[in-house]
Amino acid sequence: MTRVGQPSAVLLASFALMTAFATAARGGGHTRVVLGSPTGTSAVPHCLVAPRDCGWGTAAPRFLWEGGDLSSEVAHRIRWTNWGHHVTFGIGVHWAATPNGSIYPTPLPIRLRAFSIGRCQPHGPLAYRRLQTRTPDRPGRRMPDRWVDIHVPCALLGH
C-alpha cells in the first residue's frame, strides 16, 4: 500500500523508463566524448600543456590545430551539432594556402564530420577517431560534395 505523498516503486520505475525512452528518441548523445587525443599530435608538448589551444582530446573543440603556422590549422570558430552522437557535424572557417604558398587573406568556410566513437587509449575517454572535412579550394568557389579524411591523433591505436 502506498501512502499519499510517497511515490510508489512502480511510479518511479515508470518515470525512469519514460526518461530513458525520451533520451533515446532524441538520439542520446554523450557530451563527454572528445575528438582524438592530444598525445598523438605533432604539437604534443603544447597540446599536453594547453589542450584547449589545439583542440585534440577535448569535447566539441572550437579550434583544431596540428602545430605549426596558420596552414597547420584544421579549423577555428567551429560550431558542432549533435556532439556525442554516433556522427557529429561542425561548421567553421580555416586559413588555406594559395598555390604560391602564401595564405589567402580571408578564411574559407569548412564543414567537419566526426565519427567512429571508441577509445584512443585503453582507459581513456570515449573519442571520435575519424574526422572528415570539405572546403572550397579557394575563395569564391562552392563547397565540394566530397568529404576528405583528416588525420585524427589517437595515440596507441593509430587511427
SS3 14: helix
Tell me what pLDDT residue 97 has: 87
Adjacent-strand bridge partners of 102: none
Torsion angles phi and psi, residue 150, rounded to 5? -115, 140
The CA distance from 55 to 131, in Å, is 13
Distance between first and last Cα of the chain: 57
- What pLDDT shows up at residue 17? 36
Which residues are CB-contacts of 130 (< 8 A; sequence separation ≥ 6)? 114, 115, 116, 149, 152, 159
Give how far the C-alpha of residue 80 lies from the chain's centroid of Cα atoms, to the nearest Å. Answer: 7
Q: What is the pLDDT of residues 98-156, one digit of tens each?
A: 999 899 999 999 999 999 999 988 888 999 999 999 999 999 999 999 999 988 888 65
Condensed to tens digits (0 to 9), the pLDDT of residues 39-61 reads 655 555 556 666 556 788 889 99
Per domain, the residue ranges of the chain are 34-150
Residue 99: strand, helix, or coil: coil
- Count of alpha carbons within 13 Å of 44, Cβ hemisphere only? 6
Task: Grade residue 26 by pLDDT with cuts at 50, 70 and 90.
Answer: very low
The pTM of this model reads 0.72
Dihedral of alpha carbons 141, 153, 89, 67, sign: negative
pLDDT of residue 41: 55
